[in-house]
Amino acid sequence: MDFSILFSEFADLTLNGVVVGAIYALVSLGYTLVYGVLRLINFAHSEIFMMGTMTCVFVTSILGFTGYEDPLPIWHFFLVFTLIVISAAIVSGGAAVILEIVAYRRLRVIGASRLSSLISAIGASFFLSEVFRLLTGNKNLDFPRMINKEPIFQFSSAYVTQDKILVLVGAVVIFFILNRVINHTKLGLGIRAVSQDERTSVLMGVNVNRVISYTFLIGGILAGSGSAFYMVFYETTRFNVGFLIGISAFTAAVLGGIGNVRGALLGSFVLGLFQQYTAAVLGYNWRDVITFAVLVLVLLIKPTGLLGEALQKARM
């Protein structure tokens, strides 16, 4: 256990933690929104994210990037990046909607047991990741560096680079848009209503199927966007990238309070920072074990999370 790195690199770790947290947030919002309307953990959400990353790689290869080019001029980069984000968002969003229809809808409609839905979710998750394992030949896929990653300035030990700024700014923009949707649109109202009380929502004329589809769509779009930021930052992906990101994002959602949007944000940043700090002390090997440990501890000690509602007991 070496604390010296933690102290000497504190600012850099903090900056990275916030950037990683932003990426987690985009993914964990998907978990939390779906949980809110379905009271179900969408196991396959991690694969939705993975498919987004694959889309990013695909788009860049179609555009002809080989990874050996010089960084693009800023405006050119924004154009390309916007295209990538939109593509990933469309693919992930679409996949999420299809996923809901194929793996969850029937079970929800016939009132199948929780266990059945969970198993179906897991089956879908594995199916998707394996399909991509075969498609990508189990290899790491790299994302070309299109942006200059030289530090623009340095704050204490923190290297502020363009990609980090991109992630942070982009995430903020997306959160802002999401907030508008959730709180100022009819759809958002529907989502909030179904999250609170599905039966009453139906009685009040809410089309629950549509709301649920849209919720999956939004979660997928967020994950897809997150995947684009992920690719710019980490520059690589593989078929099982969803698993680890998913565990972190899910833990973040639970940490903040599952079902609670602000909780997902808070939890993501807290977890992102926590991961960086503990990795500095214990080494990156143990990062996932630590993340699981956080998850277990939260569920045992304060299952409602930092901001969350109680894990509802069934209405008797």
Partner 1 sequence: MATKKRFNLRDAFGDKWEKSNRIQRVVFRVIVIALFYALPFLNNPIIDTPETSFRSILFYPLIMFSLMAVGLNVVVGKSGILDLGYVAFFAIGAYTQAMLGLKTSLTFWEILPLAMGFAMFAGLILGLPALRLRGDYLAIITLGFGEIVRIIAVNTSAIGGAGGLTGIPGPVLFGYEFTVVDIRPYYWLTLTILLLIIWGVLRLTHRKPGRAWEAIREDEDVAEFMGVSTLKYKLWAFIIGGAVGGAAGAVFASQIGSIQPDMFSLNLSIMILACVVFGGMGNIWGVIFGAVLLGYIPEKLRFLSDTRIIFFGLLMVVMMNIRPNGLVPRKKREKIGDKL
Residues near partner 1 (CB under 8 A) are: 40-41, 102-103, 106-107, 112-120, 122-128, 130-131, 133-134, 243, 247, 250, 254, 285-286, 288-289, 292, 295-296, 299-300, 303, 311, 313-314, 316
**DSSP string computed for 182-198:** HHHSHHHHHHHHHHH-H
Tokens of 289: 């074990």
Nearest approach in angstroms of CB 33 to partner 1 is 15
Of the candidates 315, 313, 99, 104, the one whose C-alpha atom is nearest the C-alpha of residue 200 is 315
Q: Shortest gap between Cβ of 147 and partner 1 (angstroms)?
A: 33
Complex with partner 1: residue 7 or 292, whichever CB lies closer: 292
Packing angle of the helix pair 10-38, 45-62 (nearest 10 deg): 120
Minimal CA–CA distance to 302: which of 263, 249, 268? 263
51 vs 221, beta carbon nearer partner 1: 51
Q: C-beta of 52: minimal distance to partner 1 in Å?
A: 19
* Closest distance of CB 224 from partner 1, Å: 22
Select 76 or 106, whichever has its Cβ closest to partner 1: 106
Strands 141-142 and 236-237: antiparallel
Question: Residue 233 CB, nearest distance to partner 1 (Å)?
Answer: 24
Torsion over CA: 8, 9, 14, 15 (sign)? positive
Place of tokens 């916030």: 18
Q: Least separation, in Å, of the C-beta of 23 and partner 1?
A: 20
Burial of 225 (0-12, 13-18, 19+ CB in 10 A): buried
137 or 205: CB nearest partner 1: 137
Cβ nearer to partner 1, comparing 99 with 174: 99
Question: In whole angstroms, how close is the CB of 111 to partner 1 at the nearest point?
Answer: 11
Which residues, in sequence order, are CB contacts of 287 under 8 Å at separation 6+? 275, 278, 279
Nearer to partner 1, 104 or 175 (CB): 104
Least separation, in Å, of the C-beta of 4 and partner 1? 22
Q: Which is nearer to partner 1, 234 or 243 (CB)?
A: 243
Count of CB atoms within 10 A of residue 7's CB?
A: 10
In angstroms and rounded to an integer, the radius of gyration of the C-alpha atoms of the chain is 19
**Euclidean distance between CA atoms 251 and 291, whole angstroms:** 7
Closer Cβ to partner 1, 41 or 261, answer by number: 41
Structural contact between residues 205 and 268, judged by C-beta atoms closer than 8 angstroms: no
Q: Which is nearer to partner 1, 36 or 188 (by Cβ)?
A: 36
DSSP 285: G
Angle value at C-alpha 186, between 180 and 191, nearest 5 degrees: 85
Minimum distance, C-beta of residue 251 to partner 1, in the bound complex (Å)? 9
